[in-house]
Amino acid sequence: MRPSLPTTLPHFLGATIDEDRHRDEARRHLHDRAMFETRAPERASRAARLRAGTLRAIRRDRHSLTSYPCLLPDGKIGRTAVIPSGDEWSLVCRVG
């Protein structure tokens, strides 16, 4: 025959589990609410936006580079780029 647990032990464990679950619950809710309310869209600084725009322009220009070699004015070998020029597309030699 198996010895049985006292009847107060399950009740004691249940009460302890509930206390652990709800411990600092009000503080957690306040913290979550404060974190949610302080989330505002942040705008990057002017320097960061300028840097990002410059990099975007450079990358867009590099995207137009082809694999065809060309001769730069200083005698080095560059790569041909296709760039928009008004309503037409132009071929130019760029450092690649």
Is there a domain that residue 90 lies in? yes
Is there a domain that residue 26 lies in? no
Say if pTM beats, i.e. exceeds, 0.75.
no
Kindly state the average pLDDT of the residues 69-83.
90
How many Å apart are CA 38 and CA 31, to the nearest integer?
A: 11
Domain count, the chain: 1
Higher pLDDT, 15 or 31: 31
In this prediction, residue 90 has a pLDDT band, given cuts at 50, 70 and 90, of confident
Is there a domain that residue 1 lies in? no
Kindly state the average pLDDT of the residues 57-85.
82
Is there a domain that residue 44 lies in? no
Average pLDDT, the chain: 80
Kindly state the average pLDDT of the residues 69-89.
88
The answer, yes or no, to whether residue 66 has pLDDT greater than 60, is yes
Domain that holds residue 88: 64-96
Is there a domain that residue 32 lies in? no
